[in-house]
Amino acid sequence: MPKGTFYLTTAIDYANGAPHLGHAYEKVLADAIARHRRMRGDDVHFLTGLDEHGQKVEQTARKAGIEPLAHCDGVAVLFRDMLALLGISNDDYIRTTEARHVRVVQDALQRLFDQGLVYRAEYTGFYSVRQEQFLLEKDRAPDGSWPAIFGEVVQLTEANYFFRLAQFQPWLVSHLEANPDFIQPRFRQRQVLEFLREPINDLCISRPKSRLTWGIELPFDRDYVTYVWFDALTNYYSAVADKGRWPCDLHVIGKDILVPPHAVYWPCMLRALGLEPPRRLLVHGWWTMGGSKVSKTQEKPADGAPAPKPVDALQLARDHGADPLRYFLMREMTVGQDSEFSLDLFRIRYRTDLGNDLGNLLNRLLNMTGRYAAGVLPAAAADEAPEREVRDLWSATAAKFLARADGHEFKEALEELWVFIRALNAYVEGRAPWKLGKSADPADKARLDSCLAHVGEGLRLVATCLAPVMPTVSARLLADLGLPAAVAYEGALGWSSAGLGLRLADKDILFPPLDPPNSPAA
């Protein structure tokens, strides 16, 4: 892939609750992509932020007896703390109450109004207070009632402002057809096209202040505020309006907010404003616990069984550092599918992949180099079939790793890397340096040196590839090898003698053993 600029975003989180695993995952996924693109040489701009307007936020604040903005200030601290805890490398953080955002939203509304793409009309319908939306007949359950997810449903007649969304439907369909990779994974794109088989309605983009005051005022009618999705989606543009970064290369979002907001409203809003659509949407699935979506208030499992005790997944980052959790999240979830979270699964990955496969390999190297080579990585004096196999496997691994990471498939990229790590372990077992070290034969001494050199170089290459997913572990591993942190793949992924002759650390336990499962701290 050529070097270039790369602008990516996450969804902006709702300011009506505390951060949880779902938010954490999305930010880690986007961060791994951002770091990967930087390692590829791109000039990256990585945006995340907070979605602060709307009825739910207003209600939460009023319940707590504080002003909505004061409430949002508090929530922003929680979310920013989460980003710091997880080592997220965002370049900007946007809050939808910031003046730079409000200005752009109002400007967009005025332009659409001036072009006749926003009109006023009276509307009577059933309104869901919880979802903050008017409902359609097709939203009813088969027995005619409104499903529980809508909460209280009331009949309302209101004058409101509407965006001429329907007129952009033919363009949107042809855009999707011409760009089959617009939405990743592809099955999501097919779902959107399926949705667009039915005619879509114009979009109500206002809320009367009598019903909601916590929003951005319409510039052409001060009695109304903007619908929260019109406001929220615009963040992707408002944050870079003066930076020349549009169009966005990648929006990372969850499957619940694809249709209609990101796949329908947003491209049409941009089209109406004469702006290019984003280049791509990456749509991830949900983390579940006990089969139910992880959410602010842990939902009850579908079969009515009691909800599992919520697990504070972020505590894992506080206890073990961000990287093991980052690794777990990237290794466990196929992007696009749902994935079940449990502490047991986390512990298994921690003990096997991280502790046994990677951590022990480093320690073996450090120990043996200390014992047999005075702590300095020796040159590869012998070159026999096992060494050639390790190097050949690396060439194949590097190519596959890069292709997978370019495609945002970190689970598969890490799997490739671990095939190589396990092969390095098997290589050490096969070479048995502890036996070679006892031999008086100079050929065995050469084999021993070669083994240390190959493990050292193998770990350098692994650490380089791990930088996007486990930046701290990567830097620490490289420091143990006497090397600086990885900043680019270019020139760093070929088998080399970069680490030979360097003094290694005496000892480093990258992944300290977890407490036994039955201990009180576990």
Question: What is the binding site for ligand MSP (CB under 6 A)?
Answer: 11-14, 22-23, 25-26, 51, 232-233, 235, 253-254, 256-257, 286-287, 293-295
Q: Sort strands 221-226 and 217-218 into parallel, antiparallel or unpaired.
A: antiparallel
Give the helix/strand (H/E) hosting 221: strand 221-226
Cβ 209 to ligand MSP shortest distance, Å? 21
Q: Sort strands 281-284 and 118-128 into parallel, antiparallel or unpaired.
A: unpaired
Cβ 246 to ligand MSP shortest distance, Å? 15
Cβ 286 to ligand MSP shortest distance, Å? 4
Rank residues 51 and 449 by Cβ distance to ligand MSP and give the closer one.
Answer: 51
Q: CA-to-CA distance for 420 and 462, rounded, in angstroms?
A: 8
Query: Considering only CA atoms, which of 463, 464, 180, 185 is closest in space to residue 334?
Result: 185
Helix orientation angle between 410-431 and 360-373, rounded to the nearest 10 degrees: 30
Rank residues 79 and 224 by Cβ distance to ligand MSP and give the closer one.
Answer: 79
Cβ 399 to ligand MSP shortest distance, Å? 30
Q: Are 218 and 193 in contact (CB under 8 A)?
A: no
Rank residues 241 and 485 by Cβ distance to ligand MSP and give the closer one.
Answer: 241
Rank residues 23 and 35 by Cβ distance to ligand MSP and give the closer one.
Answer: 23
Cβ 411 to ligand MSP shortest distance, Å? 15
Cβ 476 to ligand MSP shortest distance, Å? 29
Q: CA-to-CA distance for 465 and 8, rounded, in angstroms?
A: 21
Q: CA-to-CA distance for 213 and 225, rounded, in angstroms?
A: 7
Rank residues 237 and 372 by Cβ distance to ligand MSP and give the closer one.
Answer: 237
Rank residues 113 and 287 by Cβ distance to ligand MSP and give the closer one.
Answer: 287
> What's the distance, Cα to Cα, between the start and end of the chain in Å?
44
Q: Are 350 and 514 in contact (CB under 8 A)?
A: yes
User: Looking at beta carbons, which residue is closest to ligand MSP?
Assistant: 254
- Location of structure tokens 């809050």: 95
Rank residues 14 and 168 by Cβ distance to ligand MSP and give the closer one.
Answer: 14
Cβ 274 to ligand MSP shortest distance, Å? 20
Query: Considering only CA atoms, which of 391, 366, 394, 372 is closest in space to residue 479?
Result: 366
Cβ 22 to ligand MSP shortest distance, Å? 2
Q: Are 326 and 28 in contact (CB under 8 A)?
A: yes
Cβ 311 to ligand MSP shortest distance, Å? 12
**What is the per-residue DSSP string for 282-319?**
EEE--EEETTEE--SSPPPPTT-PPPPPP--THHHHHH
Cβ 232 to ligand MSP shortest distance, Å? 4
Cβ 47 to ligand MSP shortest distance, Å? 11
Q: E-strand spans in 129-208?
A: 133-135, 153-163, 183-184, 203-204, 206-208
Rank residues 261 and 386 by Cβ distance to ligand MSP and give the closer one.
Answer: 261
Q: CA-to-CA distance for 507 and 369, rounded, in angstroms?
A: 10
Rank residues 91 and 444 by Cβ distance to ligand MSP and give the closer one.
Answer: 91
Rank residues 149 and 440 by Cβ distance to ligand MSP and give the closer one.
Answer: 149
Q: Are 420 and 397 in contact (CB under 8 A)?
A: yes
Q: CA-to-CA distance for 48 and 27, rounded, in angstroms?
A: 8
Q: CA-to-CA distance for 18 and 75, rounded, in angstroms?
A: 7
Helix orientation angle between 471-480 and 322-332, rounded to the nearest 10 degrees: 120
Q: CA-to-CA distance for 215 and 223, rounded, in angstroms?
A: 11
Rank residues 231 and 412 by Cβ distance to ligand MSP and give the closer one.
Answer: 231
296: CB partners within 8 A, 6+ apart: 16, 17, 18, 20
